[in-house]
Structure formats: structure tokens, C-alpha cells
């Protein structure tokens, strides 16, 4: 077959982006999209690809971010990017498919389905899930790379350090390394914010410092994989790059470009539900809002009964009578505890079984008549927005049919994969397994009575939005049951999300990061990393930063900063290494200073973003207007010598602070005595490293010491209550 090629983008990168057979084949099968939606999908995928490294015999790497709405078609976007990448010379595509096994299975299955890897296109794709050297996958990849028809190698892997390390070992084998050479690898990181610090930030708040854990191990394993690839492009897909998360991404993953994805025309997101169609939201009464400690319900709440009957009526109308959909689903998300999910599952199962028995009784039976009257009340709500709805009598005929063809699933760890085509109605009960990345097909009714003790985080709010998606065809039948507090949080979040996306569309990442940090109006994660415990234990007293990456960039930045500001002498302690100077700087400029200094190790990057969040919070509360920046030992041209040591397999500077001296004329309070108590103090330390290796010995780096005054801790605790 002769290959047709269409130029999508002119030569803005160092290679032309073309649409070949693999892309055409995929696009032609996306029959649910109209021509304009297909063109948008192609243009956005092409825009991402044109920023990638030329995949043919090139050395280099780059990183980008693709930002979509929840349930808006990110998978379709990266599948299109996959096909386009293959048409343009990429032979290997790696997918980090979430941190749960069910998401790995879901992504692998979706790729196979969309790319027809098990039928017509199996000649062009080789798919490997969680490959290992022990399984000899490196030999299979080597052989595939040698085939004349050049099949694409698709590798899906769990986003866990052990699985990523296994993959790295494959790419380090001589077989794969030699066969691949300098040809490009595309890495697609689905739910990319999970490889960053948003969860890590909330762990171990009562220890004095952040320590490495499984999240940093996962991040380190990603870095190690990237280091093993001579030519690769790393594309992060996410719907939640808010607040400190974006700051961390800018530091740790160093994206060079971003793309805001356009949802399809039938997408229904937060704006649809919480601005344009607020009547689709039904309030769960406070007394029926569940919490395993604060409000442990002992019997099935009436709002859940109403939601179930409304769902069954909706399926009867939309599926059985109107034929708009083949099946529809209901999601019940009560609490993160599995016991709660089991309790709600038992309640629903007993109701469904009871209703099935009662509706099969003889006409005129009191129990059957009572149930029919209950359904009639919820029928009125189910058809309220439907033009020319079927009569209740017509619907009632179908209600028993729906109940008899209802599939119930308790979605917890280890639960089975759902066969969506095998029932008219699906009821899913679960918690965190139904959160991030999990697709609930045909979701019509959501019941989420989850009790929130404190204010939720923006990323958590968003990732529970399984009720977003492509639902225009049956939107009038959709309903979302939420507590009052949750409704308020979603309304607030949706306002932020629209501003957030608009700013990202109209600004570069660097411009938006500046806007995010300096604006008091955009604080999407609120104080999620600023608990009183965290302030008391981690943002209190002196802390040392180990800035051993981005050394050249940081050196240029610090030298420029020092040259452009006039410093005052602190005190004369008699020797160059003990004499320091400082400036008193506007708090927003101090925030900008911290933002522009790059840190690429896990605990310290978190300290940086937490400090920025802390300063912004205090500034917003009018508790702080300025900060101090010190240049330590400013006349020691080559920097003060410090040892570079290895601790827990990681390099760090042993101790940047000089100690105290209290004897005679040499009295010196130590570097930690060089501070003021009325605001945050940032010390710039110029360090000349001592190390046994030629790579690090005598290397000069800039790093920080940060002082958080005790009074600020008390002040924060006071205003945060």
C-alpha cells in the first residue's frame, strides 16, 4: 500500500511533522468526533510532537506538559500522539499508567483497542506490559527493532520505582542499547502529577525534615530511566497541575513547553454542572452525610434510596425506551474506608433484591403498590428536564427489566474488571479506586456523601469528578448528589479552573508560574501543605538546602541578583569568612527570588515550594511585608570549603553553617546567629566542595540556609484556626 503523507506543521522544530498511515488509520476510526474535532485533535498532538526531540539519530531530551480537564479525553490525545510519533520516526513509546494496577490494565487495554493491536494492526505494534529482563523482553525488543517493517514498541508500566527500575534495566542491556542507538523514545506520563510531590507533601508532617520515601524513589527512578536514554521526549499528561505542584514540576521535571487540550464538543465538565446546569446537583441532607468517625450511619439514608430509584428510572427512559445509550452507570463514593464501601454496597444490594421481589408480586399487593408510588415521586425528578417524556406507566413497565439487568460492583483493591457491555445498568460502589484516572463508562448518577472535616484540596476535588465526561447525549438524565459543603467547594474550584486554564492558554509556563506565585487570588491548594504541625516541625528554625543540580543556571542567577542589589554590612566579626551583608527586600520579590532559584532534589524542592506557599499565605494575611537575604562571607571569592558526602546513597553538603566561637577576640555567634527575628531570613552560601572525585572536588556551588522565626510559627497557628 502506498503511504500518503500530509504535512501538519512547517519546520518549526528540526524535523517536519507528518501525518502518515498510522495516524490516518486511527483518526478514521474515531467516528464519534466530527471533522472539526478531529482537526483539533491532530493540531494539538502535532503541536506537542513538534516540540519533541528529532527521533532519528539525535542526542538530547526535552519535557512538556499536556493539560486537560478531568475525563476530557487525555487518553485519546496521547493515543493520537502515539500514532503521530510512530509516523514521524519514533520506535518506542513508554507509558507510565498510574500508580494502581487497575489503571495499568485500563490503559493497556485502551491502547490495544484504539490501535487494533490484536487484529488488523498487530503487525505494526508490539505491546509489553510491565516488562522485565527475567522474561527476556530485552531480546524481544532487540528483535523487533531489527524488523524491516519497523513495528512500534509500546511499553506500559506501573508508576512505581520497582517497575520503572526493571524497565531501566532493559534499556541498559547491550542488546537494546545497541539496537536503539540514538533513536528517539517517547515517554508519556499519564496523571503526571502523581510522579511529583502533591501526596509526598502531606506525609510525615511531625518529623523535623522531609525524608525520602516511595514517592521520591519513584521520581528518582524516572530520572534514572531518562538518564539511560540518549534521545527521549518526556510528555506529562495531567488535569491537576495546580499551586505548589506546578512550582515543583518547574523545578524537578523542567518542562520546556505546555499545551492546554481542548475537550470535544459533547464534553460536560465542572462549568456544565456547577455553573450552567446547577439544577442537576441535588443536596444530600447534613444528617445523611457519611463519615466513619463523625457521622457513622446505621441505616440506609433516604437520599441514597431516592438516588437509586432516580437512576433506575433514568435507565428505563434513556436506554430501554429512547435507546440513546446501550447502558448507563451509577457511582456511589461514600468514604475512603473499605468498610464504608462494603456497608453501602450491602444496603444497595438489599434494596435492589427487595425491589425485584416486590415488583414481581401480583398487582394490587400493598407492598408492590407502595413501591410503585415511591418510584413515581422519583420518576418526576428523572424526567423533569426531558422534552415529551414517556409516561410513568411506560417507564414502570421497564423498571423491573432494568433491575433484573443491573450489575453491581464493589470496586476495591483486587476487584474484577467490569464488562460494561454485559448489562443495561451498572452500580459501582467504592472510594479511592474510583478516583484518579478510573473511567466509569456511561456514568449518569453520582452519589457522593463523603464528609469533609477540613477544606478539600483542589487536586482531590477535581480527581473525584468521575461525573465529568462526554455526557451531552444524556445530560438531562444526569444527577449528582453532594453535601452542601462539597457543592460550595466545587463551585469555588470551577471558578478557579477556568481562570487557571485561561492563564495557561495565554501565557508561557514561565509567565504563568510568575503569575501563580505573585497573585494573591490564585491559591488553588489553599493550605494543604501548611498544617500547623508542618509549620511547627518543618518550617521552624534553621534549615539547609542542598542545591547540587542546575549549578550553572543558579550561579548566573545569583551573580546577577547580587550585582543588581545594594547590600548592607551585618556586623564586623574580623575575618572575611565571618563577615556577611544583607538586604531587606519586599516579600513578593523574595518569593520571586526563591522561585527563580532551581532545586532538583525531592525534599528540598518541597521545602522551596512550601516556603513560597508559607510566604504568600503570611503576605495575604498582612502578617509579613518583607524578608531578609544575606550574602554570607561575601569577600571570600572562591567560596568557603565544605565536604560533599554520601548519605543513604544520595550526595549532600555535610554542613553549610559555620559554628560558633565564644573564646576571646574570636567571639562569633556562628552562621545561625546571622539573622533577624522579625521575618524570614535566606542566607546565600557560596560553597567550594571537597570530594574524592574529580567531578565534584573544588566545584563551586551556591546554596541556601533558611531561617523561619519562632514568632511566625505562633502567628501562623493563630491565624489558621
Angle, CA 358 vertex, CA 353 and CA 360 arms, to 5°: 100
pLDDT at 469 > cutoff 50:
yes
Average pLDDT of the segment spanning 415-440: 79
Angle, CA 197 vertex, CA 215 and CA 273 arms, to 5°: 120
Q: Which of 300, 314, 348, 304 is nearest to 481 (CA)?
A: 304
236 close to 253: Cβ distance less than 8 angstroms: yes
Q: Which helix (H) or strand (E) holds 568?
A: strand 568-569
Per-residue model confidence (pLDDT) at position 244: 44
Per-residue model confidence (pLDDT) at position 514: 53
Per-residue model confidence (pLDDT) at position 71: 76
407: which strand partners? 426
Helix, strand or coil for residue 399? Answer: helix
* Main-chain dihedrals φ then ψ at residue 396, nearest 5 degrees: -65, -30
**Burial class of residue 191, CB neighbours in 10 A (0-12, 13-18, 19+):** buried
- For residue 584, what are the CA distances in angstroms to 446, 587, 617, 669? 53, 9, 19, 21
Residue 356, all three cell numbers: 425485584
Dist CA 549 CA 545 (whole Å): 12
Q: To the nearest whole percent, how much of the chain has pLDDT over 90? A: 53
* H and E: helices and strands count for the chain: 22, 25
Query: How many C-beta atoms surround the C-beta of residue 162 within 10 A?
Result: 12
Helix, strand or coil for residue 505? Answer: helix
260: which strand partners? 67
Dist CA 26 CA 117 (whole Å): 12
Dist CA 167 CA 429 (whole Å): 34
304 close to 344: Cβ distance less than 8 angstroms: yes
DSSP state of 623: S
pLDDT at 247 > cutoff 60:
no
- Return the higher-pLDDT residue of 585 and 509: 585
The torsion defined by the Cα of 379, 384, 386 and 391, in degrees rounded to 10, comes to 40
Average pLDDT of the segment spanning 294-311: 91
Domain ranges of the chain: 6-260, 267-499, 532-719
Residue 71, all three cell numbers: 475525563
Per-residue model confidence (pLDDT) at position 1: 37
Residues 6 or more apart whose CB falls under 8 angstroms from that of 721 comprise none
pLDDT at 26 > cutoff 50:
yes
Per-residue model confidence (pLDDT) at position 218: 80
Looking at domain 6-260, its CATH superfamily turns out to be P-loop containing nucleotide triphosphate hydrolases (3.40.50.300)
- For residue 583, what are the CA distances in angstroms to 88, 564, 590, 618, 655? 53, 12, 11, 20, 24
Per-residue model confidence (pLDDT) at position 485: 85
Dist CA 261 CA 78 (whole Å): 11
Dist CA 71 CA 433 (whole Å): 15
β-strands 406-411, 267-268 pairing: unpaired
Dist CA 22 CA 87 (whole Å): 6
Per-residue model confidence (pLDDT) at position 687: 97
Average pLDDT of the segment spanning 502-514: 72
pLDDT at 200 > cutoff 50:
no
Q: What is the pLDDT of residues 624-677, one digit of tens each?
A: 899 999 999 999 999 999 999 988 777 899 999 999 987 766 689 999 999 999
Residue 555, all three cell numbers: 550561579
pLDDT at 454 > cutoff 70:
no
Q: How many residues does the chain have?
A: 721
Per-residue model confidence (pLDDT) at position 524: 41
Residue 527's pLDDT band (boundaries 50, 70, 90)? very low
Q: Which of 626, 650, 642, 649 is nearest to 691 (CA)?
A: 642
* pTM for the full predicted model: 0.72
How many Å is the Cα radius of gyration of the chain? 29
331 close to 467: Cβ distance less than 8 angstroms: yes
Average pLDDT, the chain: 84
Dist CA 42 CA 17 (whole Å): 11
- Return the higher-pLDDT residue of 454 and 206: 206
- Return the higher-pLDDT residue of 30 and 216: 30
DSSP state of 276: I
- Return the higher-pLDDT residue of 439 and 92: 92
- Return the higher-pLDDT residue of 116 and 696: 696
Q: What is the pLDDT of residues 122-135, one digit of tens each?
A: 788 999 999 999 99
pLDDT at 50 > cutoff 90:
yes
Instruction: Return the beta strands (E) in 246-393 as ranges.
Output: 257-260, 267-268, 281-284, 328-332
Q: What is the pLDDT of residues 557-611, one digit of tens each?
A: 999 999 999 999 999 998 999 999 999 999 999 988 998 898 877 678 778 877 8
Residues 6 or more apart whose CB falls under 8 angstroms from that of 522 comprise 496, 499, 500, 503, 515, 516
Average pLDDT of the segment spanning 43-59: 92
Per-residue model confidence (pLDDT) at position 715: 59
Residue 202's pLDDT band (boundaries 50, 70, 90)? very low
Q: Which helix (H) or strand (E) holds 642?
A: strand 640-647
Dist CA 625 CA 588 (whole Å): 8
Which of 191-205, 210-224, 319-333, 350-364 is least confident? 191-205
Residue whose cell numbers read 483539533: 40
pLDDT at 7 > cutoff 70:
no
If phi > 0 it is left, if psi is from -120 to 50 it is alpha, else beta; for residue 109 that is: alpha
Which of 193-197, 409-413, 670-674 is least confident? 193-197
- For residue 1, what are the CA distances in angstroms to 4, 19, 80, 144, 553? 9, 16, 22, 21, 51
Average pLDDT of the segment spanning 232-257: 70
pLDDT at 192 > cutoff 90:
no
DSSP state of 320: I
- For residue 156, what are the CA distances in angstroms to 95, 99, 108, 340, 444? 5, 12, 6, 32, 30
H-state helical runs in 173-321: 174-180, 214-227, 243-252, 270-271, 302-315
Residues 6 or more apart whose CB falls under 8 angstroms from that of 326 comprise 319, 421, 424, 442
Q: What is the pLDDT of residues 687-713, one digit of tens each?
A: 999 999 998 999 999 999 999 998 876
Residues 6 or more apart whose CB falls under 8 angstroms from that of 364 comprise none
Dist CA 68 CA 80 (whole Å): 15
pLDDT at 201 > cutoff 50:
no
Residues 6 or more apart whose CB falls under 8 angstroms from that of 642 comprise 653, 654, 655, 656, 687, 688, 689, 690
Per-residue model confidence (pLDDT) at position 206: 59
Average pLDDT of the segment spanning 156-177: 94
690 close to 645: Cβ distance less than 8 angstroms: no
Dist CA 672 CA 242 (whole Å): 34
Per-residue model confidence (pLDDT) at position 295: 78
The torsion defined by the Cα of 488, 494, 499 and 504, in degrees rounded to 10, comes to 140
Per-residue model confidence (pLDDT) at position 532: 66
Query: Within 13 Å of residue 567, how many CA atoms lie on the same side as its CB?
Result: 21
Q: Which of 383, 391, 313, 301 is nearest to 348 (CA)?
A: 301
Amino acid at each position: 500500500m502506498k503511504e500518503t503523507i500530509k504535512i501538519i506543521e512547517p519546520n518549526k522544530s528540526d524535523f517536519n511533522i507528518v501525518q502518515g498511515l498510522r495516524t490516518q488509520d486511527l483518526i478514521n476510526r474515531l467516528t464519534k468526533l466530527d471533522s472539526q474535532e478531529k482537526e483539533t485533535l491532530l493540531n494539538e498532538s502535532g503541536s506537542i510532537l513538534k516540540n519533541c526531540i528529532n527521533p532519528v539519530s539525535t542526542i538530547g531530551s526535552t519535557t512538556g506538559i499536556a493539560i486537560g480537564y478531568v475525563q476530557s479525553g487525555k487518553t485519546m490525545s496521547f493515543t493520537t500522539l502515539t500514532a503521530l510519533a510512530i509516523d514521524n520516526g519514533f520506535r518506542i513509546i513508554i507509558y507510565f499508567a498510574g500508580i494502581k494496577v487497575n489503571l495499568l490494565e485500563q490503559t493497556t487495554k485502551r491502547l490495544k483497542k484504539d490501535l487494533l493491536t490484536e487484529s488488523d494492526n498487530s503487525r505494526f505494534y508490539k505491546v509489553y506490559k510491565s516488562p522485565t529482563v527475567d522474561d527476556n523482553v530485552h531480546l524481544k525488543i532487540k528483535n523487533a527493532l531489527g524488523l524491516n517493517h519497523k513495528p512500534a514498541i509500546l511499553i506500559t508500566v506501573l508508576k512505581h520505582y520497582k517497575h520503572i527500575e526493571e524497565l531501566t534495566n532493559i534499556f541498559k542491556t547491550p542488546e537494546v542499547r545497541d539496537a536503539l542507538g540514538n533513536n528517539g523514545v517517547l515517554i508519556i506520563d499519564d496523571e503526571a502529577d502523581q510522579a511529583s510531590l502533591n501526596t509526598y507533601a502531606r506525609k510525615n508532617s511531625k518529623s523535623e525534615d522531609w525524608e525520602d520515601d516511595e514517592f521520591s524513589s519513584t521520581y528518582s527512578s524516572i530520572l534514572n530511566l531518562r538518564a539511560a536514554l540518549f534521545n527521549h521526549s518526556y510528555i506529562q499528561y495531567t488535569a491537576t497541575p495546580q499551586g505548589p505542584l506546578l512550582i515543583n514540576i518547574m523545578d524537578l521535571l523542567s518542562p520546556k513547553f505546555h499545551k492546554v487540550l481542548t475537550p470535544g464538543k459533547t464534553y460536560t465538565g465542572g462549568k456544565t454542572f456547577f455553573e450552567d446546569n446547577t439544577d442537576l446537583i441535588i443536596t444530600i441532607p447534613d444528617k445523611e452525610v457519611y463519615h466513619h468517625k463523625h457521622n457513622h450511619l446505621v441505616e440506609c439514608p433516604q437520599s441514597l434510596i431516592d438516588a437509586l430509584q432516580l437512576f433506575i428510572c433514568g435507565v428505563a427512559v434513556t436506554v430501554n425506551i429512547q435507546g440513546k445509550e446501550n447502558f448507563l452507570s451509577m457511582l456511589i463514593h461514600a468514604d475512603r474506608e473499605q468498610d464504608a464501601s462494603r456497608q453501602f454496597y450491602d444496603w444497595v444490594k438489599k434494596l435492589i433484591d427487595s425491589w425485584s421481589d416486590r415488583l414481581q408480586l401480583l398487582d394490587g399487593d400493598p407492598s408492590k403498590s407502595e413501591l410503585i408510588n415511591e418510584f413515581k415521586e422519583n420518576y418526576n425528578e428523572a424526567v423533569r428536564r426531558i422534552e415529551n417524556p414517556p409516561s410513568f406507566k411506560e417507564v414502570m413497565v421497564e423498571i423491573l427489566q432494568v433491575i433484573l439487568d443491573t450489575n453491581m460492583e464493589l470496586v476495591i483493591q483486587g476487584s474484577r474488571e467490569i464488562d460494561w457491555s454485559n448489562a443495561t445498568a451498572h452500580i459501582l460502589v467504592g472510594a479511592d479506586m474510583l478516583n484518579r484516572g478510573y473511567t466509569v463508562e456511561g456514568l449518569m448518577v453520582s452519589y457522593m456523601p463523603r464528609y469533609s472535616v477540613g477544606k478539600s484540596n483542589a487536586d482531590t476535588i477535581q480527581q473525584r469528578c468521575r461525573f465529568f465526561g462526554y455526557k451531552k447525549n444524556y445530560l438531562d438524565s444526569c444527577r449528582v448528589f453532594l453535601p452542601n459543603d462539597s457543592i460550595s467547594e466545587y463551585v469555588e474550584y470551577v471558578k478557579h479552573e477556568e481562570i487557571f486554564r485561561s492563564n495557561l492558554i495565554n501565557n508561557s509556563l514561565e509567565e504563568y508560574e510568575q503569575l501563580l506565585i505573585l497573585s494573591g487570588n490564585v491559591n488553588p491548594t489553599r493550605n494543604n501543605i501548611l498544617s500547623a504541625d508542618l509549620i511547627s516541625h518543618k518550617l521552624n528554625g534553621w534549615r539547609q538546602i542542598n542545591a547540587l543540580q542546575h549549578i550553572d543556571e543558579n550561579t548566573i542567577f545569583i551573580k546577577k541578583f547580587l550585582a543588581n542589589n545594594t547590600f548592607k554590612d551585618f556586623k564586623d566579626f574580623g575575618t572575611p569568612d565571618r563577615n556577611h551583608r544583607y538586604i531587606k527586600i519586599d516579600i513578593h520579590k523574595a518569593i520571586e527570588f526563591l522561585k527563580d532559584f532551581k532545586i532538583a532534589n525531592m525534599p528540598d524542592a518541597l521545602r522551596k515550594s512550601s516556603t513560597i506557599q508559607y510566604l504568600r499565605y503570611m503576605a495575604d494575611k498582612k502578617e509579613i511585608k518583607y524578608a531578609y537575604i544575606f550574602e554570607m562571607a561575601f569577600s571570600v571569592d572562591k567560596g568557603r570549603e565544605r565536604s560533599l558526602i554520601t548519605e543513604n546513597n544520595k550526595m549532600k553538603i555535610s554542613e553549610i553553617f559555620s559554628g560558633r566561637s565564644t573564646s576571646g577576640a574570636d567571639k562569633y555567634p556562628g552562621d545561625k546567629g546571622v539573622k533577624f527575628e522579625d521575618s524570614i531570613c535566606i542566607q546565600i552560601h557560596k560553597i567550594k566542595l571537597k570530594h574524592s572525585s574529580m567531578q565534584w572536588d573544588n566545584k563551586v556551588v551556591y546554596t541556601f540556609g533558611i531561617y523561619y522565626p519562632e514568632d511566625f510559627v505562633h502567628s501562623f497557628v493563630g491565624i489558621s484556626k
